[in-house]
C-alpha cells in the first residue's frame, strides 16, 4: 500500500461525502447497513471508534469498533472495496486499531472465510461464524 495515496484517519462525525462513500462501500460488499446519511452519522457517533481509509475523497475502507470498557473493544466492522483489497488497507486499519488500544482485549465476531486475517492480528474470535462480505 502506498502511504501517499491511501490515508487512514479517525473520524468522530461524518460529512455528506463520507456518508455517500460508506453507503457505497456497504452496498459493494453486500452488507444491508444504513444507506441514509442520518443513520450512518448516528452509527458513527454511537460506535466510539471509526477509521476511514480514503484515496483522495473516495472512501475505500472502513473500520468500526465499540469500546466496551477500558480493557475490551469489539471490532464491529472492517470492510475494503473489492478493487482495493490486497493492497494492505485492511492491515493498515487493523494496525491503527491496535496502536490506538494498547493492552486492550480486542475481539470480533468470527467471520466465515477470513478468520485467519483477524487471528494474525491477535484478535479473539467470538462464535458462531457469521457470513463474510462479498468479494468483487
Q: Does residue 2 carry a pLDDT above 60?
A: no
pLDDT of residue 132: 60
User: Are the CB atoms for 108 and 118 separated by under 8 Å?
Assistant: yes
**First-residue to last-residue Cα distance in the chain:** 19
Question: Of all helices (H) and strands (E), which one includes residue 35?
Answer: none
**Which of helix, strand or coil describes residue 131?**
coil
Q: Is the residue at 1 inside a domain?
A: no
CATH number at residue 16: 3.40.630.30
Kindly report the number of other CB atoms within 10 A of residue 87's CB atom: 18
Q: Does residue 18 carry a pLDDT above 80?
A: yes
Q: Is the residue at 42 inside a domain?
A: yes
User: Are the CB atoms for 92 and 1 separated by under 8 Å?
Assistant: yes
Q: How many domains does the chain have?
A: 1
* Alpha-carbon 60 to chain mean position: 10
Q: Is the residue at 74 inside a domain?
A: yes
Average predicted confidence (pLDDT) for the chain: 87
Q: Is the residue at 52 inside a domain?
A: yes
Give the separation between CA 126 and CA 88, rounded to whole angstroms: 24
Structural domain including 79 reads 6-130
Instruction: Dump pLDDT digits (tens) for 88-121.
Output: 999 999 999 999 999 999 999 867 788 889 999 9
Q: Residue 108: name the closest of 72, 80, 82, 55 by CA.
A: 72
Q: Is the residue at 120 inside a domain?
A: yes
Averaged pLDDT, 19-28: 91
pLDDT of residue 64: 95
Amino acid at each position: 500500500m502506498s502511504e501517499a495515496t491511501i490515508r487512514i484517519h479517525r473520524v468522530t462525525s461524518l460529512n455528506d461525502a463520507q456518508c455517500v462513500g460508506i453507503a457505497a462501500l456497504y452496498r459493494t460488499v453486500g452488507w444491508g447497513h444504513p444507506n441514509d446519511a442520518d443513520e450512518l452519522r448516528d452509527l458513527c457517533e454511537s460506535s466510539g471508534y471509526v477509521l476511514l481509509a480514503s484515496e483522495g475523497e473516495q472512501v475505500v475502507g472502513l473500520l468500526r469498533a465499540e469500546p466496551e470498557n477500558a480493557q475490551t473493544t469489539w471490532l464491529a466492522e472492517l470492510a475494503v472495496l473489492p478493487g482495493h483489497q490486497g493492497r494492505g488497507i485492511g492491515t493498515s486499519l487493523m494496525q491503527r486499531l491496535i496502536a490506538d488500544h494498547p493492552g486492550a482485549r480486542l475481539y470480533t465476531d468470527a467471520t466465515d472465510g477470513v478468520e485467519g486475517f483477524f487471528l494474525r492480528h491477535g484478535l479473539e474470535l467470538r462464535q458462531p461464524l457469521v457470513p463474510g462480505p462479498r468479494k468483487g
